[in-house]
């Protein structure tokens, strides 16, 4: 290769290194926020229902601060290069999605939609090609939500909340039915979806025990 060609290639390599370092710096901050948020929300397993609003008040500012990270990433990533760099922050993004959907369920009892999650994390439609919220990452976050709720169903009973497992059961079955209608091509996503059957079984066992002891109305009465 001639000297001019080598110089051009070196320039491109240096540019990639510079972009990677800038992204890495922002991802470190994003990951810190996502892990802190997840740690705070982990307290739901030892927090009674009446004290949850105070817990969410602590978590909300951190969730809102994730908008700063997504905006910074959108500024760094060159146009049309989102898919080239997204693997650097997809774990942090999925953790943030999980936290947002968990808070939504515990506060309002429903599933936060993909557009609503994108809005919560400050991901704007005009950023397509630089920073977006892929459906795959959203679904991974929702699966993590179900995993967490299966654990909460058990711990809620320990805290004396016998209605929560029934609410969780109805919600999780609805989510599972929705997944069943999707054409999942991704192997990792498919395996995680298949594992939801074990979460449902665990929740059903809790609901059965609560109903058998007449500690709460049956799931059918909740519909």
The region of weakest confidence among 1-10, 110-119, 136-145 is: 1-10
**Which homologous superfamily does the CATH classification assign to the domain defined by 1-85+114-132?**
Translin; domain 1 (1.20.58.190)
Decide if 145 contacts 98 (C-beta within 8 A): yes
CATH 1.20.58.200 boundaries in the chain? 134-223
Name the nearest CA neighbour of 195 among 154, 152, 140, 153.
140
> How many CB atoms neighbour CB 86 within 10 A?
17
Which residues belong to CATH 1.20.58.190 in the chain? 1-85+114-132
**Per-residue model confidence (pLDDT) at position 11:** 67
Predicted pLDDT at 14: 73
Query: Does residue 13 or residue 39 have the better pLDDT?
Result: 39
DSSP three-state, residue 222: helix
In this prediction, residue 10 carries a pLDDT of 64
Q: Is the pLDDT of residue 156 over 90?
A: yes
């Amino acid at each position: 290769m001639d000297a001019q060609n080598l110089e051009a290639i070196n320039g491109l390599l240096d540019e990639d290194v510079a972009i990677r370092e800038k992204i890495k710096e922002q991802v470190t901050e994003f990951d810190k926020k996502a892990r802190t948020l997840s740690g705070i929300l982990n307290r739901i397993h030892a927090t009674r229902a009446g004290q949850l609003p105070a817990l969410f008040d602590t978590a909300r500012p951190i969730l809102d601060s994730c908008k700063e990270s997504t905006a910074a990433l959108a500024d760094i990533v060159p146009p049309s290069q989102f898919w080239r760099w997204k693997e650097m922050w997809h774990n942090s993004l999925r953790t943030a999605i999980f936290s947002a959907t968990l808070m939504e369920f515990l506060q309002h009892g429903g599933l936060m939609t993909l557009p609503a999650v994108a809005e919560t994390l400050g991901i704007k439609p005009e950023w397509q090609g630089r920073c977006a919220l892929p459906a795959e990452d959203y679904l991974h976050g929702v699966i993590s939500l179900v995993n967490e709720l299966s654990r909460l169903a058990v711990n809620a009973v320990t805290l004396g909340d016998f209605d929560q497992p029934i609410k969780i059961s109805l919600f999780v079955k609805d989510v599972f039915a929705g997944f069943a209608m999707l054409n999942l091509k991704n192997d990792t996503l498919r395996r995680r979806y298949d594992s939801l059957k074990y979460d449902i079984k665990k929740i059903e066992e809790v609901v059965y025990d609560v109903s058998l002891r007449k500690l709460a109305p049956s799931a059918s009465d909740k519909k």
